[in-house]
Structure 1
């Protein structure tokens, strides 16, 4: 890709995030955001935008991913359970800010627009679940989880409460919440505690 094109693409992604942020030139809701506004903020033509993205939802999702993945890494080093814990905590911290409100709007938009839902699943959700599942598989090999655990099911089990709290705003997303959530899951999916038969009482003399 030419330097000029890559510069324009980055400008579009940044302009989108700027318009959706809590500070000027934002905030604009996802519903009211338009291709025209993005083009004006980025200093590019609408034709340039449509060269790379089919619709507004695709731009927003790419803008979200561009910022999100770097802030919520899935580490390859150290014990897998520790890496998983840190990933979930970073996700909670990010979702406690403006990005959380953006993804909540994206999920809401998905309920009314099948194409947005498909974009969100293809470009973001499936990649995150796959990456987490790979980490869970390593945790299984390390003996931190039972060998019969389904990595995809566990990944969704870990992500589910975070998105529930985000959408319903039932409680804050804090490190303490994530620790409690992961510890509860580990009690169910962790290696079984060895059981020993009770010692026989000696015969009375």
Structure 2
């Protein structure tokens, strides 16, 4: 177990910022098409969506040690895209 850890030190560390910047750049057209189809609001922050979904997956797998099954993924995506509030809203946050 020690040998793989020691050999891993010889590799250049992963630049997380570079990785995510490059990944978002490749996926940007997907978000742009979703905006043009009316599936996302024009001011949607793609990185925030990625952070919310990746964070949910990370928490579920690493800390809760639960499977990342299709049911969870579907519910997580639906919640991030539509929110957890009731579908029908009348007015702003102060509306009763």
Q: Which one has the bigger helix percentage?
A: 1
Tell me which of 40, 61, 72 is aligned to 1:177.
72
Larger radius of gyration: 1
Q: Which runs of 5 or more residues in structure 2 are unaligned?
A: 91-96
Counterpart Cα distance in 1 of 2:30 and 2:38? 13
Instruction: Give the aligned partner of residue 127 of structure 1.
Output: 22
Match of 2:42 in 1: 147
1:160 alignment partner in structure 2: 55
3-state DSSP class of the match of 2:5? coil
Q: Is the 8 A contact 1:139 1:145 kept in 2?
A: yes
Q: Which residue of 2 aligns with 1:24?
A: none
CA-CA distance at 1:157 after TM superposition: 1.7
Q: TM-score, structure 2 length as denominator?
A: 0.64
Higher relative contact order (CA 8 A, sep 6+): 1
Aligned residue number for residue 5 of structure 2:
32
Q: Deviations over 1:161-190 (max 9, x none)?
A: 1122232144211111111100111213xx
- Which residue of structure 1 lines up, in the alignment, with residue 93 of structure 2? none
Q: Distance in 2 between matches of 1:147 and 1:167?
A: 33
Deviation of the 1:194 alpha carbon = 8.9
Q: TM-score, normalised by structure 1?
A: 0.35
Shift of residue 123 of structure 1?
A: 4.8
Query: May I ask how many residue pairs the two structures share in their alignment?
Result: 87
Change (3 A) 1:147 1:169: same
Measure the CA separation in 2 of the matches of 1:147 and 1:122. Answer: 24
